[in-house]
Amino acid sequence: MIRVAYSEKDKWRMALREGAVAGTVASILSTAVLALMGKRQDGQAIAPVNAVSHWAWGDEAAQVLRPTWRHTLTGLLTQHAASILWATLYSRAYGQRPEAKALPNAIAGGVATSAVAYVVDYTVTPKRFTPGYELRLDGRGMLGVYAALAVGFTAGALMLRGRD
């Protein structure tokens, strides 16, 4: 196998591309689980999505029970941007290696990325900038959302197999 030496700029460009793909898959899956767990836990599918916007509108965002441009759109865009950020960081740190896209490594990478995101989200990040899931979901619901992120990161890595 011939290895090509890429510049730092090229590596970041590839990481952004891979992050956009894997992050979008992770965002879609995690948002679906966020709504599903909200519906299951307290009958409110949209409230956990709205809660993600608490960084902009305060904790009362989690009490908004209907779709609104202000809360729902902000929550969706925030969830999407955060998913792409984590997928991009993973891609740049490790995900660009061909072995990272083999099934067992892709699963390990997806789980590791999601676990690191959780730790950073809830230990390092100031409360105002946490994901907001904790405002509407219990631990099981949050685990479901982070598991969906891991599946999305994994699926995104597998979709990118064989591409430079």
Identity of the residue numbered 14: M
Maximum separation of any 2 CA atoms in the chain, in Å: 55
User: pLDDT by residue for the chain (164 residues), tens digit each?
Assistant: 556 677 889 889 988 999 999 999 999 999 999 999 999 999 999 999 999 999 999 999 999 999 999 999 999 999 999 999 999 999 988 877 878 888 999 999 999 999 999 999 999 999 999 999 999 999 999 999 999 999 999 998 889 876 65
- Percent of the chain at pLDDT exceeding 70: 96
Half-sphere exposure of residue 118: CA atoms within 13 angstroms, side-chain side: 17
**Domain range annotation of the chain:** 22-159
- What is the CA angle 123-68-78, rounded to 5? 30
Q: Indicate the length of the chain as a whole number.
A: 164
- Global pTM? 0.92
